[in-house]
Amino acid sequence: MDQQYDFGMVGLGVMGRNLLLNVADHGFKAIGFDKDPVKTADFEKAATAGTIVKGVNTLEEMVNQLATPRRIMILVPAGKPVDDVIESLLPLVDKGDIIIDGGNTYYTDTLRRYQYLAPKGIHFIGIGVSGGEEGARFGPSMMPGGDITAWEHLKPILQSIAAKVNGEPCVDYMGNGAAGHFVKMVHNGIEYAIMQLICEIYDILRRGAGKNNEELHQLFSSWNEAELKSYLIEITADIFSMKDPETGNHLVDMILDKAGSKGTGKWTSQIAMNMGVAIPTIDMAVTMRNLSALKSQRVEADKIHGDKQAGITSDPSEMLNAGTLENDCRGALYTAIIMSYVQGMAMLHTASTELEMQIPLHNAVKVWRGGCIIRSTLLETFYEAYLRNPQIPNLLLDETLAKLVTDNIHALRRVVSQAALNGFPAGALMNALTYYDAYTTGRLPLNLLQAQRDYFGAHTYERTDKEGKYHTQWT
Ligand code: 6PG
């Protein structure tokens, strides 16, 4: 009789293979399908001694050897490949089986697939998986949403393979429908923002203050010992010390300044815009990747517009009571990173009601504390804030967090003004500051904008002293 496997994986690429090896390491019998026999062989070879794994080259072989209800995860590129796999699985699976999409899928695709499979009696669940290759192998952060029955069936496996923080697994239920993929998308938007903020600080310190890579390595390593402690700061410190084997130069200096993307950051911005939610730091991170692509135009414009950078000083005496530039950069990065999480979480708060996802926000920050790309010590602070007040619409309304921000915001102001005065593109830092200043200003000048709208278009306005809509004959 065939071995009854506990968990099946479709697609043994980097993520699929590592996640399935992780499943096997936790005592579950794991079977993986890939059309490529090299990949199935590599998968079997990489397994830990004593674990039960099998690689097969037809879907039938995999499906037939799974215990029911079957648990089948798809980890193939998002989009049509996922639909193709679902179509191939349909004749093979039975009512009650569970199909999981673990990719970075656009959330409406997940809803569509859920609605397609539910009447057929198939449980379909979208799970955001973060942590890259290493995370998949040794403990990712996972964001399942939608079919609650499927989640209950998957819970024992997912909890055992997830990263752990304070003994708690970094996986939990994210809410209705496509909430899992939605939360993962916002995670990626925050990831874009933090990466861009780090790049802007790097630019100010490297090109502006003339710090070399070794000094930057030291600085980022020391930042990673305190309140900025996080995965992205840690890998940035590592990157500065890596040498290029071909030239002997620092590798980071040899890398072309043109950023790639797979689109999840752009989706976050587009959907936030559709929902009317402000996430300007994430928007700017997407924009900067777009600007980075214009390499040849930028080089030409650089020549025409001359040397606009005056050079940012690292001499404290020239900083007008500003503390050292390094310290200001640390405080600026800290507050701007907080603003990135704040914006992402405010977006989830709105999605929770407007898209009827009912996202337990404390679960999102809880599972991000370990295993994922945006893990940082700050997540613990946010987690506590949501435990205190689960319905808080914006984390800036939490007094503990407000104190962290008000203690550091002046560093962000100084760094932003230095960047602006010296011609350094620091849009994500600037947008973080603008978001903060706008959100914490009781009266914005948009009363005037309402007057303008009413003037030229009779769009009406509300008044400060009484209820209702008003129109004025302005001329
Ligand atoms: C993760 C990452 C992962 C992937 C990004 C890269 O959480 O493990 O977010 O999903 O590395 O999607 O995105 P870009 O290619 O768009 O930068």
Per-residue pLDDT reduced to its tens digit, 376-423: 999 999 999 999 999 999 999 999 999 999 999 999 999 999 999 999
Cβ–ligand 1 distance for 130 under 6 Å, the answer yes
Distance 127 CA to ligand 1 centre (A): 14
Look at residue 347 and tell me whether its pLDDT is greater than 70: yes
259-288 pLDDT, tens per residue? 999 999 999 999 999 999 999 999 999 999
Contacts of 258-261 spanning 24+ positions with Cβ under 8 A: 258/292, 258/293, 258/295, 259/288, 259/289, 259/292, 259/293, 260/289, 261/192, 261/286, 261/289
- Residue 2 is predicted with a pLDDT of 66
133-156 pLDDT, tens per residue? 999 999 999 999 999 999 999 999
- Band of residue 433 on the pLDDT scale cut at 50, 70, 90: very high
Look at residue 1 and tell me whether its pLDDT is greater than 70: no
Distance 14 CA to ligand 1 centre (A): 13
Cβ–ligand 1 distance for 141 under 6 Å, the answer no
Average confidence (pLDDT) over 179-192: 98
Cβ–ligand 1 distance for 266 under 6 Å, the answer no
184-439: CATH topology is N-(1-d-carboxylethyl)-l-norvaline Dehydrogenase; domain 2 (1.10.1040)
Spatial distance between the Cα atoms of 293 and 298, rounded to a whole number of angstroms: 9
7-173: CATH topology is Rossmann fold (3.40.50)
Cβ–ligand 1 distance for 188 under 6 Å, the answer yes
Look at residue 322 and tell me whether its pLDDT is greater than 70: no
Global pTM value: 0.96
Distance 191 CA to ligand 1 centre (A): 8
Look at residue 310 and tell me whether its pLDDT is greater than 90: no
- Band of residue 321 on the pLDDT scale cut at 50, 70, 90: very low
- Residue 224 is predicted with a pLDDT of 98
User: Which ligand 1 atom is the nearest neighbour of the CA of 374?
Assistant: 7
Average confidence (pLDDT) over 118-143: 97
359-377 pLDDT, tens per residue? 999 999 999 999 999 999 9
Cβ–ligand 1 distance for 18 under 6 Å, the answer no
Distance 188 CA to ligand 1 centre (A): 6
Cβ–ligand 1 distance for 261 under 6 Å, the answer yes
User: Which ligand 1 atom is the nearest neighbour of the CA of 191?
Assistant: 9
- Residue 313 is predicted with a pLDDT of 63
> Is 7-173's fold the same as 184-439's?
no
Q: What percent of the chain has pLDDT over 90?
A: 95
Look at residue 329 and tell me whether its pLDDT is greater than 90: yes
Residues 363, 369, 372, 375, CA torsion sign: positive
Q: What percent of the chain has pLDDT over 70?
A: 96
- Residue 314 is predicted with a pLDDT of 59
Average confidence (pLDDT) over 144-169: 96
Cβ–ligand 1 distance for 97 under 6 Å, the answer no
Residue nearest to atom 4 of ligand 1 (CA): 132
Catalytic residue among 39, 191, 200, 211: 191
Distance 413 CA to ligand 1 centre (A): 30
- Residue 307 is predicted with a pLDDT of 72
| Beta-carbon-side half-sphere exposure of residue 375 (alpha carbons within 13 Å) | 23
- Residue 191 is predicted with a pLDDT of 98
- Residue 320 is predicted with a pLDDT of 46
Indicate if 191 belongs to the active site: yes
Indicate if 184 belongs to the active site: yes
Cβ–ligand 1 distance for 367 under 6 Å, the answer no
Cβ–ligand 1 distance for 105 under 6 Å, the answer no
**Mean pLDDT estimate for the chain:** 96
Residue nearest to atom 1 of ligand 1 (CA): 130
- Residue 306 is predicted with a pLDDT of 78
Ligand 1 site-directed mutation target among 15, 137, 190, 191, most atoms within 8 Å of CB: 191
User: Which ligand 1 atom is the nearest neighbour of the CA of 184?
Assistant: 7
Residue spans of the domains in the chain: they are 7-173, 184-439
- Residue 334 is predicted with a pLDDT of 98
The residue among 3 and 312 whose pLDDT is bigger is 3
